Amino acid sequence: MKPKNPCIVLLSSVFIIFLPSLISSQTCQKTCGKIPIKYPFGTGPGCGDPRFQPYVTCSQQQLTFSTHTGCYTITSIDYNNQVIYISDPTMSTCSCTQPSKGFGLDWDAPFSFSDDTVFALLDCSTTSSPIYRAGGGNNSTFPMCDSQGASICSLLYSCEAISRLSLPISTCCVYTPVDLGPSFDMNLEKLQCTSYSALVGFNSQETNPEGWKYGIGLKYKFNFNNDYPELCASCEKSNGVCGYNNSPYKSFACNCPDGLNTTTDCFYGQSWSHGSRFLPWKTGTLLIVFFTFFILFAFM
Ligand SMILES: *[C@@H]1O[C@H](CO)[C@@H](O)[C@H](O)[C@H]1NC(C)=O
Ligand SMILES: *[C@@H]1O[C@H](CO)[C@@H](O)[C@H](O)[C@H]1NC(C)=O
Ligand SMILES: *[C@@H]1O[C@H](CO)[C@@H](O)[C@H](O)[C@H]1NC(C)=O
Protein backbone atom coordinates (compact mmCIF):
# COMPACT_ATOMS: atom_id res chain seq x y z
CA MET A 1 0.00 0.00 0.00
CA LYS A 2 1.35 3.37 -1.05
CA PRO A 3 0.54 6.60 0.77
CA LYS A 4 -1.40 9.08 -1.42
CA ASN A 5 1.22 11.77 -1.05
CA PRO A 6 4.61 11.14 0.50
CA CYS A 7 5.07 14.89 0.65
CA ILE A 8 2.38 15.19 3.32
CA VAL A 9 4.11 12.55 5.41
CA LEU A 10 7.42 14.37 4.98
CA LEU A 11 5.92 17.74 5.85
CA SER A 12 4.15 16.45 8.91
CA SER A 13 7.34 14.75 10.08
CA VAL A 14 9.20 18.04 9.66
CA PHE A 15 6.46 19.72 11.65
CA ILE A 16 6.70 17.08 14.39
CA ILE A 17 10.48 17.53 14.56
CA PHE A 18 10.21 21.28 15.01
CA LEU A 19 7.17 21.16 17.25
CA PRO A 20 9.23 21.13 20.48
CA SER A 21 10.92 24.39 19.51
CA LEU A 22 7.64 25.96 18.39
CA ILE A 23 5.99 25.36 21.74
CA SER A 24 9.08 26.68 23.51
CA SER A 25 8.42 27.56 27.12
CA GLN A 26 11.77 29.18 27.83
CA THR A 27 11.24 31.32 30.92
CA CYS A 28 14.15 33.62 30.22
CA GLN A 29 13.65 35.56 27.01
CA LYS A 30 16.38 36.50 24.55
CA THR A 31 14.94 39.91 23.73
CA CYS A 32 12.99 42.62 25.48
CA GLY A 33 11.15 44.66 22.89
CA LYS A 34 13.81 45.27 20.23
CA ILE A 35 16.75 44.96 22.61
CA PRO A 36 18.65 41.66 22.61
CA ILE A 37 19.13 40.35 26.13
CA LYS A 38 22.34 38.57 26.97
CA TYR A 39 24.31 37.85 30.12
CA PRO A 40 24.61 39.54 32.61
CA PHE A 41 21.10 40.89 31.98
CA GLY A 42 17.87 38.93 32.15
CA THR A 43 14.20 39.43 31.46
CA GLY A 44 13.00 38.42 34.92
CA PRO A 45 13.86 36.84 38.27
CA GLY A 46 16.05 33.76 37.76
CA CYS A 47 17.43 35.15 34.49
CA GLY A 48 20.81 36.75 33.91
CA ASP A 49 23.13 37.51 36.81
CA PRO A 50 21.46 37.99 40.21
CA ARG A 51 23.60 41.09 40.87
CA PHE A 52 22.06 42.86 37.89
CA GLN A 53 18.52 41.54 38.18
CA PRO A 54 17.20 44.22 40.60
CA TYR A 55 18.43 47.06 38.39
CA VAL A 56 17.56 45.92 34.88
CA THR A 57 14.09 44.51 34.32
CA CYS A 58 11.86 43.79 31.37
CA SER A 59 8.20 44.55 31.71
CA GLN A 60 5.72 44.82 28.85
CA GLN A 61 8.59 44.52 26.38
CA GLN A 62 10.22 47.62 27.84
CA LEU A 63 13.70 47.36 29.35
CA THR A 64 14.04 49.55 32.41
CA PHE A 65 16.94 50.63 34.60
CA SER A 66 16.06 51.42 38.23
CA THR A 67 17.98 53.41 40.78
CA HIS A 68 17.00 55.44 43.82
CA THR A 69 16.33 58.52 41.68
CA GLY A 70 13.83 56.79 39.42
CA CYS A 71 13.20 54.39 36.55
CA TYR A 72 14.74 54.97 33.15
CA THR A 73 14.19 53.45 29.74
CA ILE A 74 17.21 51.57 28.43
CA THR A 75 17.61 52.72 24.84
CA SER A 76 20.40 50.35 23.81
CA ILE A 77 23.06 48.00 25.13
CA ASP A 78 26.58 47.90 23.71
CA TYR A 79 27.60 44.36 24.63
CA ASN A 80 31.06 44.71 23.05
CA ASN A 81 32.02 47.73 25.11
CA GLN A 82 29.84 46.72 28.09
CA VAL A 83 27.80 49.90 28.27
CA ILE A 84 24.06 50.39 28.66
CA TYR A 85 22.51 53.64 27.45
CA ILE A 86 19.54 55.09 29.24
CA SER A 87 17.40 58.17 28.77
CA ASP A 88 16.03 60.25 31.60
CA PRO A 89 12.62 61.82 30.89
CA THR A 90 13.52 64.74 33.20
CA MET A 91 16.71 65.53 31.31
CA SER A 92 17.00 68.68 29.20
CA THR A 93 18.10 68.62 25.59
CA CYS A 94 18.59 71.23 22.91
CA SER A 95 14.88 71.09 22.07
CA CYS A 96 13.45 71.06 25.58
CA THR A 97 14.50 72.31 28.99
CA GLN A 98 12.78 71.21 32.14
CA PRO A 99 13.49 71.12 35.86
CA SER A 100 15.05 67.94 37.23
CA LYS A 101 16.06 66.56 40.59
CA GLY A 102 19.10 64.92 39.03
CA PHE A 103 20.31 61.41 38.59
CA GLY A 104 22.14 59.03 40.88
CA LEU A 105 23.46 55.50 40.94
CA ASP A 106 22.89 53.29 43.95
CA TRP A 107 26.15 52.91 45.86
CA ASP A 108 26.01 49.11 45.64
CA ALA A 109 24.85 48.89 42.02
CA PRO A 110 27.28 47.17 39.66
CA PHE A 111 27.43 50.20 37.35
CA SER A 112 29.55 53.28 36.88
CA PHE A 113 29.34 56.12 34.39
CA SER A 114 30.84 55.43 30.99
CA ASP A 115 33.86 57.43 29.88
CA ASP A 116 31.90 59.09 27.09
CA THR A 117 29.15 60.51 29.32
CA VAL A 118 29.29 64.27 29.80
CA PHE A 119 27.02 66.06 32.24
CA ALA A 120 26.07 69.68 31.82
CA LEU A 121 24.46 71.17 34.90
CA LEU A 122 22.22 74.05 33.87
CA ASP A 123 21.05 77.15 35.64
CA CYS A 124 23.21 76.69 38.75
CA SER A 125 23.48 79.29 41.46
CA THR A 126 26.94 80.79 41.06
CA THR A 127 26.81 82.16 44.60
CA SER A 128 25.61 79.22 46.65
CA SER A 129 26.23 76.10 44.54
CA PRO A 130 29.02 73.95 46.02
CA ILE A 131 30.38 73.24 42.54
CA TYR A 132 31.83 76.73 42.38
CA ARG A 133 33.56 76.31 45.70
CA ALA A 134 34.87 72.79 45.41
CA GLY A 135 38.17 71.69 43.98
CA GLY A 136 40.37 74.17 45.80
CA GLY A 137 39.92 72.97 49.37
CA ASN A 138 39.86 69.50 50.83
CA ASN A 139 36.30 68.76 49.91
CA SER A 140 36.52 67.17 46.54
CA THR A 141 32.95 65.85 46.65
CA PHE A 142 32.08 67.88 43.58
CA PRO A 143 34.51 68.66 40.83
CA MET A 144 35.02 72.12 39.51
CA CYS A 145 33.53 72.78 36.15
CA ASP A 146 35.51 71.41 33.26
CA SER A 147 37.21 74.25 31.38
CA GLN A 148 36.97 72.21 28.16
CA GLY A 149 33.23 72.08 28.70
CA ALA A 150 32.85 75.81 28.09
CA SER A 151 32.12 75.24 24.41
CA ILE A 152 29.48 72.62 25.26
CA CYS A 153 27.89 75.16 27.60
CA SER A 154 27.82 77.95 25.05
CA LEU A 155 26.45 75.64 22.35
CA LEU A 156 23.76 74.32 24.69
CA TYR A 157 22.84 77.83 25.80
CA SER A 158 22.49 78.81 22.14
CA CYS A 159 19.65 76.28 21.75
CA GLU A 160 16.35 78.07 21.36
CA ALA A 161 14.73 76.35 24.35
CA ILE A 162 17.59 77.38 26.65
CA SER A 163 18.40 80.79 25.15
CA ARG A 164 14.80 81.83 25.87
CA LEU A 165 15.67 81.67 29.59
CA SER A 166 18.57 84.11 28.93
CA LEU A 167 20.84 82.64 31.58
CA PRO A 168 24.43 83.82 31.99
CA ILE A 169 26.87 81.23 30.65
CA SER A 170 28.52 81.02 34.07
CA THR A 171 25.47 79.14 35.37
CA CYS A 172 26.40 76.15 33.22
CA CYS A 173 28.87 73.61 34.54
CA VAL A 174 30.18 70.69 32.51
CA TYR A 175 32.13 67.74 33.78
CA THR A 176 32.80 64.13 32.95
CA PRO A 177 32.10 61.96 35.97
CA VAL A 178 34.70 59.30 35.12
CA ASP A 179 36.75 59.65 38.28
CA LEU A 180 33.85 59.76 40.65
CA GLY A 181 33.28 56.03 40.89
CA PRO A 182 30.01 54.17 41.06
CA SER A 183 28.67 55.90 44.14
CA PHE A 184 28.24 59.18 42.40
CA ASP A 185 24.99 60.92 42.96
CA MET A 186 24.04 64.05 41.08
CA ASN A 187 21.60 65.71 43.42
CA LEU A 188 20.60 68.92 41.69
CA GLU A 189 18.89 70.33 44.76
CA LYS A 190 22.10 70.02 46.73
CA LEU A 191 24.09 71.41 43.80
CA GLN A 192 21.58 74.25 43.41
CA CYS A 193 21.06 73.77 39.72
CA THR A 194 17.58 73.55 38.21
CA SER A 195 18.20 71.14 35.37
CA TYR A 196 20.80 69.12 33.58
CA SER A 197 21.63 67.65 30.26
CA ALA A 198 23.76 64.60 29.55
CA LEU A 199 25.40 63.54 26.33
CA VAL A 200 27.02 60.33 25.20
CA GLY A 201 28.35 61.62 21.91
CA PHE A 202 28.29 64.37 19.33
CA ASN A 203 27.20 62.23 16.37
CA SER A 204 30.04 63.90 14.40
CA GLN A 205 28.19 67.21 14.74
CA GLU A 206 30.38 68.87 17.35
CA THR A 207 29.01 72.34 16.72
CA ASN A 208 25.34 71.41 16.31
CA PRO A 209 23.73 70.67 19.70
CA GLU A 210 20.50 69.64 17.96
CA GLY A 211 22.30 66.64 16.53
CA TRP A 212 24.01 65.46 19.71
CA LYS A 213 23.22 62.12 21.26
CA TYR A 214 21.59 62.82 24.61
CA GLY A 215 21.50 60.18 27.33
CA ILE A 216 23.57 58.53 30.03
CA GLY A 217 26.00 55.66 29.48
CA LEU A 218 26.61 53.17 32.29
CA LYS A 219 29.49 50.71 32.28
CA TYR A 220 29.25 47.27 33.82
CA LYS A 221 31.63 44.43 34.55
CA PHE A 222 30.89 40.70 34.64
CA ASN A 223 32.88 40.29 37.84
CA PHE A 224 36.02 41.62 39.46
CA ASN A 225 38.28 40.40 36.66
CA ASN A 226 35.62 41.05 34.04
CA ASP A 227 35.79 37.47 32.67
CA TYR A 228 32.79 36.12 30.81
CA PRO A 229 31.81 33.04 32.86
CA GLU A 230 32.64 29.85 30.93
CA LEU A 231 29.50 28.07 32.11
CA CYS A 232 27.39 30.85 30.70
CA ALA A 233 29.28 30.90 27.39
CA SER A 234 28.60 27.19 26.83
CA CYS A 235 24.97 27.59 27.95
CA GLU A 236 24.46 30.35 25.36
CA LYS A 237 26.22 28.26 22.70
CA SER A 238 23.66 25.52 23.29
CA ASN A 239 20.81 27.99 22.73
CA GLY A 240 20.17 28.43 26.44
CA VAL A 241 19.83 31.60 28.49
CA CYS A 242 22.03 32.09 31.54
CA GLY A 243 20.22 32.39 34.83
CA TYR A 244 20.36 31.31 38.43
CA ASN A 245 18.44 29.20 40.89
CA ASN A 246 16.19 31.11 43.18
CA SER A 247 17.74 29.26 46.12
CA PRO A 248 19.65 31.26 48.74
CA TYR A 249 22.88 30.31 46.92
CA LYS A 250 21.70 31.63 43.55
CA SER A 251 23.78 29.01 41.81
CA PHE A 252 24.15 29.06 38.04
CA ALA A 253 21.30 27.66 35.95
CA CYS A 254 21.00 27.32 32.20
CA ASN A 255 17.46 27.96 31.05
CA CYS A 256 16.88 25.79 27.99
CA PRO A 257 14.50 26.31 25.04
CA ASP A 258 12.15 23.61 26.36
CA GLY A 259 11.80 25.43 29.69
CA LEU A 260 13.98 23.07 31.70
CA ASN A 261 16.93 24.32 33.72
CA THR A 262 20.27 22.53 33.76
CA THR A 263 23.41 23.09 35.77
CA THR A 264 25.52 23.10 32.59
CA ASP A 265 24.04 23.60 29.11
CA CYS A 266 21.24 22.43 26.82
CA PHE A 267 23.27 19.88 24.83
CA TYR A 268 22.19 16.28 24.93
CA GLY A 269 23.56 14.08 27.70
CA GLN A 270 23.98 16.68 30.40
CA SER A 271 22.62 16.46 33.89
CA TRP A 272 19.09 17.74 34.23
CA SER A 273 18.10 19.61 37.31
CA HIS A 274 14.59 18.34 36.79
CA GLY A 275 15.41 14.67 37.34
CA SER A 276 15.94 11.93 34.80
CA ARG A 277 12.32 11.06 34.13
CA PHE A 278 12.23 13.54 31.28
CA LEU A 279 13.92 12.67 28.03
CA PRO A 280 16.05 15.51 26.79
CA TRP A 281 14.17 16.87 23.80
CA LYS A 282 17.02 16.23 21.40
CA THR A 283 16.74 12.50 22.13
CA GLY A 284 13.00 12.78 21.68
CA THR A 285 13.46 14.50 18.35
CA LEU A 286 15.90 11.84 17.19
CA LEU A 287 13.40 9.10 18.07
CA ILE A 288 10.67 10.92 16.15
CA VAL A 289 12.97 11.26 13.13
CA PHE A 290 13.74 7.53 13.13
CA PHE A 291 10.12 6.65 13.67
CA THR A 292 8.97 8.91 10.82
CA PHE A 293 11.51 7.52 8.40
CA PHE A 294 10.60 4.00 9.47
CA ILE A 295 6.93 4.66 8.64
CA LEU A 296 7.85 6.47 5.44
CA PHE A 297 9.91 3.53 4.15
CA ALA A 298 7.45 0.93 5.36
CA PHE A 299 4.72 2.50 3.21
CA MET A 300 6.87 2.98 0.10
C1 LIG B 1 13.73 27.45 35.37
O2 LIG B 1 14.21 28.64 35.95
C3 LIG B 1 13.33 29.73 35.84
C4 LIG B 1 14.04 30.94 36.38
O5 LIG B 1 14.51 30.73 37.69
C6 LIG B 1 12.04 29.41 36.62
O7 LIG B 1 11.15 30.49 36.51
C8 LIG B 1 11.43 28.16 36.00
O9 LIG B 1 10.29 27.80 36.76
C10 LIG B 1 12.42 27.03 36.01
N11 LIG B 1 11.84 25.91 35.28
C12 LIG B 1 11.79 24.68 35.78
C13 LIG B 1 11.14 23.66 34.90
O14 LIG B 1 12.22 24.39 36.89
C1 LIG C 1 33.75 70.55 53.72
O2 LIG C 1 32.41 70.04 53.78
C3 LIG C 1 31.84 70.16 55.06
C4 LIG C 1 30.46 69.50 55.03
O5 LIG C 1 30.18 68.96 53.80
C6 LIG C 1 31.76 71.62 55.45
O7 LIG C 1 31.22 71.73 56.77
C8 LIG C 1 33.13 72.24 55.42
O9 LIG C 1 33.06 73.60 55.67
C10 LIG C 1 33.79 72.02 54.06
N11 LIG C 1 35.17 72.48 54.09
C12 LIG C 1 35.68 73.20 53.11
C13 LIG C 1 37.11 73.55 53.26
O14 LIG C 1 35.04 73.56 52.11
C1 LIG D 1 43.17 69.44 54.37
O2 LIG D 1 44.20 68.60 53.96
C3 LIG D 1 45.45 68.86 54.55
C4 LIG D 1 46.50 67.91 53.98
O5 LIG D 1 46.08 67.37 52.78
C6 LIG D 1 45.35 68.70 56.07
O7 LIG D 1 46.62 69.04 56.66
C8 LIG D 1 44.27 69.61 56.59
O9 LIG D 1 44.11 69.39 57.98
C10 LIG D 1 42.98 69.35 55.87
N11 LIG D 1 41.97 70.28 56.33
C12 LIG D 1 40.74 69.95 56.69
C13 LIG D 1 39.83 71.03 57.11
O14 LIG D 1 40.34 68.76 56.67
Query: Can you give the pLDDT at residue 14?
Result: 52
What spacing in Å lies between the alpha carbon of 139 and ligand 3's midpoint? 9
pLDDT(134) > 90? no
- Atom nearest to 245 CA in ligand 1: 5
Query: Can you give the pLDDT at residue 139?
Result: 54
d(CA 210, CA 247) in angstroms, rounded, equals 49
How confident is the prediction for the chain on average, in pLDDT?
82
Q: In what order do the strands lie in the sheet with 193-201?
A: 173-175, 118-124, 193-201, 213-214
What spacing in Å lies between the alpha carbon of 25 and ligand 1's midpoint? 10
Query: Can you give the pLDDT at residue 27?
Result: 86
Q: What is the DSSP string of the chain?
A: ---S-HHHHHHHHHHHHHHHHHT---SS-SEETTEE--TT--SSTTBS-TTTTTTEEEETTEEEEEETTEEEEEEEEETTTTEEEEE-TT---SS------EEE--TTSSEEE-TT-EEEEEEE-TTT-GGGTTTTSS--SSPPPPGGGHHHHHHHHTSHHHHTT---GGG-EEE-GGGG-TT-EEEHHHHTEEEEEEEEE-TT-TT-GGGSEESEEEEE-SSTT-PPPHHHHHHHHTT-EEEE-SSTT--EEEE-TTS-EESS-SSTT--BTT-TTSPPHHHHHHHHHHHHHHHHHHH-
pLDDT(179) > 90? no
Q: What's the mean pLDDT in 5-25?
A: 55
Residue 64 buriedness (CB in 10 A; 0-12 / 13-18 / 19+): middle
In sequence order, which residues have a C-beta less than 8 Å from that of residue 100 and are 6 or more positions away? 88, 90, 91, 92, 188, 194, 195, 196
Segment 159-163 long-range contacts (CB within 8 Å, at least 24 positions apart): 159/93, 159/94, 159/95, 159/209, 159/210, 160/95, 161/92, 161/93, 161/94, 161/95, 161/96, 161/97, 162/92, 162/94, 162/97, 162/122
Query: Can you give the pLDDT at residue 9?
Result: 58
What spacing in Å lies between the alpha carbon of 137 and ligand 3's midpoint? 8
pLDDT(279) > 50? no
The pTM for the full model equals 0.73
Tens digit of pLDDT for each residue in 184-220? 778 888 889 999 999 999 999 999 999 999 999 999 9
What spacing in Å lies between the alpha carbon of 45 and ligand 1's midpoint? 9
**Residue with CA at minimum distance from ligand 2 atom 6:** 139
Query: What ligand is nearest to the CA atom of residue 136?
Result: 2
- Atom nearest to 134 CA in ligand 2: 14
Query: What ligand is nearest to the CA atom of residue 133?
Result: 2
Query: What ligand is nearest to the CA atom of residue 242?
Result: 1
Query: Can you give the pLDDT at residue 277?
Result: 38
Query: Can you give the pLDDT at residue 133?
Result: 67
What spacing in Å lies between the alpha carbon of 283 and ligand 1's midpoint? 21
- Atom nearest to 46 CA in ligand 1: 5
Question: 41 to each of 58, 160, 242, how far by Cα in Å?
Answer: 10, 39, 9
Q: Are 205 and 212 in contact (CB under 8 A)?
A: yes
pLDDT(181) > 80? no
pLDDT(3) > 60? no
Tens digit of pLDDT for each residue in 100-113? 999 999 888 899 88
Query: Can you give the pLDDT at residue 201?
Result: 92
What spacing in Å lies between the alpha carbon of 135 and ligand 2's midpoint? 12
Predicted confidence band at 142 (pLDDT cuts at 50, 70, 90)? low
Tens digit of pLDDT for each residue in 220-265? 999 889 999 999 999 999 999 999 998 888 899 999 998 899 999 9
Q: Which of 139, 141, 144 to mutate to test the pocket of ligand 2 (most atoms within 8 A of CB)?
A: 139
Query: Can you give the pLDDT at residue 132?
Result: 73
The ligand 1 site (C-beta within 6 Å) comprises 27, 46, 243, 246, 253, 255, 259-261, 274
Q: Check if 139 has its Cβ closer than 6 Å to any atom of ligand 2.
A: yes
* Mode of pairing for the β-strands spanning 213-214 and 118-124: unpaired
Tens digit of pLDDT for each residue in 61-95? 999 999 999 999 999 999 999 999 999 999 999 99
Query: Can you give the pLDDT at residue 115?
Result: 86
- Atom nearest to 133 CA in ligand 2: 14
Q: Are 162 and 97 in contact (CB under 8 A)?
A: yes
**Residue with CA at minimum distance from ligand 2 atom 5:** 139
**Residue with CA at minimum distance from ligand 2 atom 13:** 137
Q: What's the mean pLDDT in 172-189?
A: 71
**Better pLDDT: 176 or 150:** 150
d(CA 25, CA 152) in angstroms, rounded, equals 50
